[in-house]
Amino acid sequence: MTKPAEVTDNDWETEVLKNDTPVFVDFWAPWCGPCRMVAPLVDELSAEYDGKVKFVKLNTDDNTETATRYGIRSIPTMMVFKGGEPVGQIIGFRPKSNLKQAIDAAL
Amino acid sequence: MTDSRDYDIVIIGGGPAGLAAGLYGARGRHKTLLIEKGVIGGQIALTEAVENYPGIQMINGFDLAQAMLAQSESYGMETEYTEVQKIEQQGLKWLVSTEAGDFTTRALIVTAGAEYNRLGVPGEDRLIGKGVSYCATCDAAFFKDQAAVVVGGGDSALEEGIFTTRYVSKATIVHRRDEFRASAILQERALADPKIEVAWNTVVTEVLGDDQVTGVRLKDVNTGEESTMDVTAVFIFIGSTPNTGFLGGLIPLDGGKHALVDEWMATPLPGLFAAGDVRQNSARQVASSVGDGVTAAIAADHYITANFHGDTAAAAAPAEATPAA
């Protein structure tokens, strides 16, 4: 199973905005408890949506430029991008079924 | 025949009370299931530092919860991540309906905890995640060198208020009374902190901002005088309400929606127990919730022994009840 790759401020443009398929981004930081709880769910979803949606993670401590650009002020925040535009956003820990709903609604 | 969805003890809620009940249930050789709808640990998963759990000088709340989970699972407790929709009596057993299907159990322990209260003022809901936060340890880092208000006067408000000062330039604690309810040691720390100011006898009446929080409207409760304060973050800690919605109509609740139980955490209904923050007069501490959970599990053990005469899920499925460790 391929786990979501880490993206940074530097490769945000190519890995997320210019990606052909929709991209699910998990904004997280190492000190955030709920982020650690979301992580395994995102791993599972990454396998379930393999080929349809690309899954990546962005560490908000190390990549403040991107976090600021999208107004991230609470983590975990998860966003879905399609054609370079944000089309869905989830703030805070949610059960897997809710994450799936949000992804499906954005596709 | 073995029914994999039939249990001796089902526990609703994976905070300290539920995890402790699960440990004692599983060690009592009962087939035990813990159901959690969100994050294991509940409110403590969001606590940066637990420093009042006896025997442990200091531990991160998420780590403490994970350690409790690992210990309970090592004795065979099962865990299911789903939300309970309804519980009802089915003969001598309880039927627990969840988003992941139905479970039956001989004893049911409700440790569903409590959810933080919202202020209920304009702008609050709209700006959640945009400066309005109920978890300073999660979100304070996004407000480096900015000004914040912290609403409340209890342990959580002061603990989290003190935490925000690692990042923010100034934290104003807005409290509606002229004294804090928080424990003395937290009051001493907060009042001695050069980055913390207190607005006594003051309430927040509105959170201001379009896409992001830009300020709050404040009101002095004595004079009625209104003012605004420029801040980019509003951290809210004004108490909690027990998650007893799914018990409504089944058992008596008090005015604050807490379940009424006896000293064994037993509700008036056979086989139904309530422990931790959901019960009336809980001390709402990790240590007291753990004690509640243990008491409920021991009471459930006695109840099962007295009422089911060996006709247990563990007896029907010995392999599944054997501890993993």
Q: Residue B94 pLDDT more than 70?
A: yes
The answer to whether the CB atoms of B138 and A71 lie below 8 A apart is no
Structure-token pair, residue A51 = 């080929």
CA distance A56 to A26: 6
Interface of B with A in 160-189 (CB under 8 A): none
Options 3.40.50.970, 2.30.110.10, 2.60.120.640, 3.50.50.60; CATH for B6-115+240-321 is 3.50.50.60
**CA distances to B90, B208, B292 from B276, in Å:** 25, 36, 6
CA distance A33 to B45: 6
The answer to whether the CB atoms of A33 and B46 lie below 8 A apart is yes
The answer to whether the CB atoms of B128 and A72 lie below 8 A apart is no
Comparison of pLDDT for B314 and B162, the residue scoring more: B162
From chain A, the residues in CB contact with B167 under 8 A are none
From chain A, the residues in CB contact with B212 under 8 A are 71, 73
Q: Identify the active-site residue in A29, A32, A91, A102.
A: A32
> Does the annotation mark A32 as catalytic?
yes
Which class in CATH covers the domain with range B118-236?
alpha beta
The answer to whether the CB atoms of A92 and B129 lie below 8 A apart is yes
Query: Could you report the per-residue pLDDT of B221-250, keeping only the tens digit for each?
Result: 999 999 999 999 999 999 889 999 999 789
Q: Residue B47 pLDDT more than 80?
A: no
**CA distances to B5, B222, B231, B261, B288 from B205, in Å:** 49, 14, 14, 37, 35
User: In terms of DSSP bridges, do strands B226-230 and B78-81 run parallel, antiparallel, or are they unpaired?
Assistant: unpaired
Eight-class DSSP state of B176: S
CA distance A90 to A70: 13
> Could you tell me the pLDDT band of residue B35, with boundaries at 50, 70 and 90?
very high
pTM, to two decimals: 0.79
> Could you tell me the pLDDT band of residue A92, with boundaries at 50, 70 and 90?
confident
CA distance B53 to B65: 12
A32 vs chain B: nearest CA distance in angstroms? 5
The answer to whether the CB atoms of B139 and A73 lie below 8 A apart is yes
| Residue spans in chain B of domains classed CATH 3.50.50.60 | 6-115+240-321, 118-236
Percentages (nearest 5) of helix, strand, coil residues in chain B: 30, 30, 40
Contact (Cβ atoms closer than 8 angstroms) between residue B104 and residue B88: no
Q: Residue B127's closest chain A neighbor by CA?
A: A73
From chain A, the residues in CB contact with B143 under 8 A are 73
User: Cβ of B192: how many Cβ atoms within 10 Å?
Assistant: 9
Contact (Cβ atoms closer than 8 angstroms) between residue B254 and residue B280: yes
Q: Identify the active-site residue in B6, B135, B155, B277.
A: B135
From chain A, the residues in CB contact with B236 under 8 A are none
> Does the annotation mark B63 as catalytic?
no
List the strands of the sheet with B226-230, edge to edge: B202-208, B215-220, B226-230
